[in-house]
Amino acid sequence: MSDYLVQFNNISKFFGKVIALKDVTMRLKKGEIMCLLGDNGAGKSTLIKTLAGVHKPDEGEIIFEDNKIVFDSPKDALDIGIGTVYQDLALVPLMSVTRNFFMGREPQKGIPFLKTFDVEKANKIAADRMGQIGIDVRDPSQAVGTMSGGERQCLAISRAIYFGAKVLVLDEPTSALGVHQASMVLKYIVKAASEGLAVILITHNVHHAYPVGNSFTVLNRGKSMGTFQKKDISREKLLSMMAGGEELDKLEVELQEMDRIHNKN
Ligand SMILES: Nc1ncnc2c1ncn2[C@@H]1O[C@H](COP(=O)(O)OP(=O)(O)O)[C@@H](O)[C@H]1O
Ligand SMILES: [Mg+2]
């Protein structure tokens, strides 16, 4: 048995002439939060879609619990315990909290062939699960659209965990949130990892990633700049790698120049 729950080994993905990923290797362990960092277009979404069974890699292999896996569909990935929460969350705002939690997988009651959706049980599970993360859903039949952005994100994560995720893949879970809401979501992610989940947290916000991540993989134009343990890398170094260092250094100089001019006046 290797130490790793999931391994991406030398993954490449091409869309026609576009090289979305080239020779990317990334590995993670149980209980680990790995942050996948990179600017827009770096290949982050493409990478996690290969793990979620949406795209087939053109090169390389994915190893899950020591077995090489090939997914024919996103359902295959879900079935082995890879839970992905996409940027749009796949929630239906006008449907209830409970309906969104179960999405067609509601508990049933009754005798065979006359089964009905067990509303009370479903409501209780949804409210309990949200309560465990400190979100008080007094009325689980309320529309999801009435929840805050952070609460909705937590609901989508909670749903993935409830349905058996071992690896939780989160695509920019904090990008649309303010500081308070983002910290609520980040705290929940840390809690989930402490209970043994492996988390891939995708973000272009180093300030959100750094406090919660154990390791960091930086993508730049489809290539991995490497994976770093937190003790081996600073927040500033990560920032500069993401943006392709030089540009940021230039920006820094320009900002200092502006400051200088400003202070003179
Ligand atoms: N389905 C697709 N067809 C063609 N090109 C794509 C497709 N998906 C992504 N790309 C291209 O692959 C590159 C990486 O995109 P993406 O993985 O979405 O980056 P990120 O999530 O880091 O912003 C971009 O150049 C993007 O235009
Ligand atoms: Mg993306």
- The side-by-side arrangement of strands in the sheet containing 6-15 is 18-28, 6-15, 59-64, 67-69
Task: Quote the pLDDT of residue 178.
Answer: 84
Spatial distance between the Cα atoms of 123 and 158, rounded to a whole number of angstroms: 14
List the one residue out of 126, 125, 116, 71 whose CA is nearest residue 95: 126
CA angle 92, 107, 160 (to 5 degrees): 50
Pocket residue to mutate for ligand 1, from 13, 40, 46, most atoms within 8 A of Cβ: 46
Task: Quote the pLDDT of residue 198.
Answer: 95
Measured by CA distance, the residue closest to atom 13 of ligand 1 is 20
Instruction: Classify domain 6-94+143-264 at the CATH superfamily level.
Output: P-loop containing nucleotide triphosphate hydrolases (3.40.50.300)
> Residue 9 — φ and ψ, nearest 5°?
-115, 115
Tell me if 255 CB under 6 Å of ligand 1. Answer: no
Residue type, 177: L
* DSSP assignments along 54-107, one per residue: SS--SEEEEEETTEEE--SSHHHHHHHTEEEE-TTTT--TTSBHHHHHHTT---
Spatial distance between the Cα atoms of 187 and 164, rounded to a whole number of angstroms: 20
Task: Quote the pLDDT of residue 226.
Answer: 92
Per-residue pLDDT of the chain (265 residues; tens, 9 = 90+): 788 999 999 999 999 999 999 999 999 999 999 999 998 889 999 999 999 999 999 999 999 999 999 999 888 998 899 998 887 777 778 888 888 888 767 777 777 777 777 788 888 888 888 888 888 888 888 888 888 888 888 888 888 888 889 999 999 988 888 888 888 889 889 999 999 999 999 998 888 899 999 999 999 999 999 999 999 999 989 988 887 655 656 666 777 777 887 776 6
Rounded to two decimals, the pTM is 0.85
> Who contacts 16 (Cβ-Cβ below 8 Å, separation ≥6)?
none
Measured by CA distance, the residue closest to atom 11 of ligand 1 is 20
CA of residue 140 to ligand 1 center, whole Å? 37
Domain ranges of the chain: 6-94+143-264
**Rounded to the nearest 10 degrees, what angle do helices 235-242 and 246-264 cross at?**
110
Spatial distance between the Cα atoms of 3 and 7, rounded to a whole number of angstroms: 10
List the one residue out of 42, 264, 77, 60 whose CA is nearest residue 169: 77
Measured by CA distance, the residue closest to atom 2 of ligand 1 is 15
Spatial distance between the Cα atoms of 60 and 251, rounded to a whole number of angstroms: 37
> Residue 44 — φ and ψ, nearest 5°?
-60, -50
Q: Which residues surround ligand 2, an ion (CB under 5 A)?
A: 45
Tell me if 15 CB under 6 Å of ligand 1. Answer: yes
C-alpha radius of gyration, the chain, whole number: 21
